[in-house]
Structure 1
């Protein structure tokens, strides 16, 4: 295994979850600058997420349970306007949940052919 689960989470899952969060907020009619302010990121980053230049390798909307949690997070962000660290904590938790459910196994094996998703249960055992 050349690419470990934490690398997969930080390089691919977290950005894909954040991209989906940006999309959900955009679907609610927010402007890029408003989304950037709410998420404590730059407007340029929001633009890259929306253009699929960042976080586009995993379609989070294909996982209805995670997508529902992202929608709930978007509502909480709109209602409570949490700080940067609280949002980051929520995104990390969602990333670990994604790993724990085994959703990243096939993707992980595609980026690292040494990973056998049938034999590897590391994420499921650690985070499931």
Structure 2
């Protein structure tokens, strides 16, 4: 499985979930508004809030990931344009990969992968 597949299956949904939960639970934005801001459906936001999908405990518990989520939420609340928001999201994913926060998830999806020998996502790989 390619790192980009792991990113698409776990990292992006987890980030969206954490962002959606913060916008709804902390800032009391309606689910429909959050859906519009994130470019997803209201049903997806509902699933994120209920933790039916998009949850990765290892990422959710990471202080580093929470900081990235807070930056994105702040940008959303400030009303940044779509390109700026996409860049912040992309930078967050790149940081998660570069800091090897995705490696454990990758190994869960692909148990035979030796993550100690893999440095594909490292900035100097």
Please give the range of the TM-score, normalised by the shorter of the 2 chains.
0.7 to 0.9
Gapped runs of 5+ residues in structure 2? none
Cα deviation, residue 49, structure 1: 1.3
Q: Give 1:96's aligned residue.
A: 94
Q: Residues of 2 paired with 1:77 and 1:51: CA distance? A: 22
Structure 2 CA distance for aligned equivalents of residues 92 and 65 of structure 1 = 15
RMSD: 1.9
**What per-residue deviation string (whole Å, max 9, x for no partner) do you get for residues 84-127 of structure 1?**
x4433322221121011011112211110121111111112458
Ranges of 4+ aligned residues in structure 1 off by more than 6 Å: none
Could you say what secondary structure the match of 1:80 adopts? coil
Query: Following TM superposition, by how much is the alpha carbon of 1:58 offset from its aligned partner in structure 2, in angstroms?
Result: 4.3
What TM-score does the superposition give when structure 2 sets the normalisation length? 0.86
Question: What is the aligned length?
Answer: 124
If asked which structure has higher relative contact order (CA below 8 Å, sep 6+), I would say 1
Unaligned runs of 5+ in 1: none
